[in-house]
Amino acid sequence: MHVARAWTAAGIVAGGVTLVLLAPSSAAPASVPTQATRPTRPTHKPLPLERLFDNRAVSDDARPGGADFDGAGSSLSAQDLRAAGWTPGRDIALDAARLTWPRSAGARPDNVIADGQAVRLRGRGEALTFLVASSSPDGPGAGASGVGTVRYRDGSSRPYTLSAPDWRAGPAATKAVGLPHLNTAAGQRQETARLYAVTVPLERGRDVASVVLPRDPGPSADLHVFAASLRQPADGWTGSWAASTAGYTKVGPWTDQTLRLVVHTSAGGPRARVRMENTFAASPVEIGHATVALQASGAAARGVPVPLTFGGRPGTSVPAGAQAFSDPVDFPVPADANLLVSIHLPGPVAAVPVHSQATQRSYLSAAGSGDRTGEPGAESYTSTLTTWPFLTGVDVRGGPGSVVALGDSITDGTKSTNDANRRWPDVLSRRLRGQSEIPAYGVLNAGISANRVVADRYPGEGVSTDTGGVSAQHRLERDVLAQTGARTVVVFQGINDLRWGSSAEELIAGLRSLAARMHERGLRVVGATIAPCEGESLCTPDADARRSAVNAFLRDSGGVFDAVLDFDAVVRDPEHPARILPAYDSGDHLHPGDAGLRAMADSIDLRKLVG
């Protein structure tokens, strides 16, 4: 669907044509200008994306009719974007890709409506990430999708499918950023607008020459592209520790305080970097300083903490929904060791993206105590945390890559001993370190307590007390596909879907979809059968029957998975297969305790983790 556009002193103010015109000025009248002519076919010579921009999506609140994103006179608020940290020309890191928010946003055309344009995008990457949204002049729609082409330098090409959710009706769970208003010629309206980062696979090891955008998807919607980039492979890096953001919760507010977060490594290496994420947030967070150190005990460091930098600076601002990697630092990271990652928040911070079930004590300095990141002692840290705010990853230089454990509370370590690192992924990591038959992968724990495969617990937007996360389907890109050095994924999830009423068929379809998406990215996918839970209030006989049906599928999945781990057989009571063996039961009949988690990890044939 294309609505004719014309230039005024403000640029393009209505919907989706490719024009070759003089650059417009920054003024933006509210009236709709005369129709302009659109080329009959796209440009075949690849051009930088910004030279193809033919639509203006962003308006100033003082001139809300100065842009027309959807062909009906509605647009994004420049002030809302600035409040989210999405300023013109800003690099926004999303799912390990770096995208540049258009420099022209709010003044000139800032996106292109996809219709077969050839984009100059060169280099080698593991995936291609687009910043997109769809629109319709008839109001909120179902989104837009189309098939484009990646052209490689060797002359070959490969089609890809790009799907863009609607900017007003798309899911909150997968958004890159959400904004609280829409601008219209009649004024501002209180209604959420969203943009999305969508990633498609590339042929690994091949150089991209250009990317052809999909053709106009049809009369009902336009597919808008704001930015595109190649996601570079994390060559030479291994993920050593990770945590998945599970929700966005109220705190403090924290004002001029320092977090000292305790995390446990899997792989070791001579250099390190950390990842912080502002997932689900509506505003940027300021990081004043950050350091890393080995833990001595409690909040005390072994030696003086090592400063971290971000683009050469001691701190950084992380936009809403985005992430930030620290610069690599010469800091030898031992395997199977506790680190202290300290983060100064100048504040105030009233809500944070958080991993809620850390099963690990971390520490917080007193309000107004300032930057304590460089202190080796524990004296400034006067309170404890049982969550991991902001911090989502620690990577080490070298190593063979990582195994990602995608799961729920059993993978997260709920009911294991606090501060003891006895989650089954921790035990697996120690097994990998103690052998030489297969690569000694890092192990990344992507478990979230209460998480499901096919339904969201946390909706993906707003402050909430629910920290069950968005579904595995919706978090797969962030928590698995974009993880540093991911090679193999163990999928051990589904009991929460069954406990809350999902059918076996729905769960099986969800597991099939996860496996297909991971295979598309070249990952090895290992499934794990679902453990029993009779005796827990929601584990009814009907839920157990559905669990048995899903496990039957997993055991004989016909190639859906590359291998299967039978965790059900490991922890069930042979005399009562619907229950956990008492010796392995934590006491709530749902979660294995330390002994059960160790038995699960010890049962893994490590050869199943490699192709």
Chain segment 134-179, per-residue pLDDT in tens: 999 999 999 999 999 999 999 999 999 999 999 999 999 999 999 9
pLDDT of residue 18: 30
For the chain, what percentages of helix, strand and coil (3-state, to nearest 5) are there?
15, 35, 50
- Listing DSSP states for 296-323 in one string gives EETTEESSSPEEE-BTTBS-EEE-TT-E
The pTM is what?
Answer: 0.92
Lowest mean pLDDT among 23-32, 185-194, 419-428: 23-32
- 1 pLDDT band, cuts 50/70/90, is low
pLDDT of residue 217: 73
DSSP class of residue 481 equals: I
pLDDT of residue 295: 98
19 has a pLDDT exceeding 90: no
CA separation for the pair 142, 136 (Å, rounded): 9
DSSP class of residue 397 equals: E
Q: For 522-535, what is the mean pLDDT?
A: 98
DSSP class of residue 207 equals: E
**Closest of 480, 610, 546 to residue 199, by C-alpha:** 480
Does domain 400-611 match CATH 3.40.50.1110? yes
41 has a pLDDT exceeding 90: no
Dihedral in degrees, nearest 10, Cα atoms 485, 491, 495, 498: 110
In angstroms, what CA-CA distances link 378 with 16, 373, 384?
59, 11, 11
The phi and psi torsions of 410 (rounded to 5 degrees) equal -65, -40
- The residues facing 225 across adjacent strands are 112, 132
Roughly how many angstroms between the first and final C-alpha of the chain, as a whole number? 45
21 has a pLDDT exceeding 60: no
549 has a pLDDT exceeding 80: yes
CA separation for the pair 551, 198 (Å, rounded): 32
pLDDT of residue 44: 73
15 has a pLDDT exceeding 70: no
Interacting residues of 261 by C-beta distance below 8 A, sequence separation 6+: 340, 341, 342, 343, 362, 363, 385, 388, 389, 391
450 has a pLDDT exceeding 70: yes
pLDDT of residue 40: 36
The dihedral region occupied by 431, where left means phi > 0, alpha psi between -120 and 50, and beta the remainder, is alpha
CB neighbourhood size of 137 (10 A)? 18
418 has a pLDDT exceeding 90: yes
**Closest of 58, 33, 164, 37 to residue 111, by C-alpha:** 58
- 611 pLDDT band, cuts 50/70/90, is confident
CA separation for the pair 479, 469 (Å, rounded): 11
Q: For 103-121, what is the mean pLDDT?
A: 97
11 has a pLDDT exceeding 60: no
CA 543, chain centre distance (Å): 30
pLDDT of residue 70: 96
pLDDT of residue 28: 31
363 has a pLDDT exceeding 80: yes
Sign of CA dihedral 608, 435, 601, 514: negative
Q: For 219-248, what is the mean pLDDT?
A: 95
Q: For 428-444, what is the mean pLDDT?
A: 98
Domains of the chain, residue spans: 7-231, 248-350+360-387, 400-611
The type of residue at 344 is: H
* Residue corresponding to tokens 């829409």: 182
Lowest mean pLDDT among 217-231, 233-247, 432-446, 564-578: 217-231
pLDDT of residue 13: 30
pLDDT of residue 449: 98
2 has a pLDDT exceeding 70: no
102 has a pLDDT exceeding 80: yes
Token digits for 219?
Answer: 């009369």
Q: For 323-339, what is the mean pLDDT?
A: 98
Token digits for 417?
Answer: 């001993």
* Residue corresponding to tokens 């003086």: 304
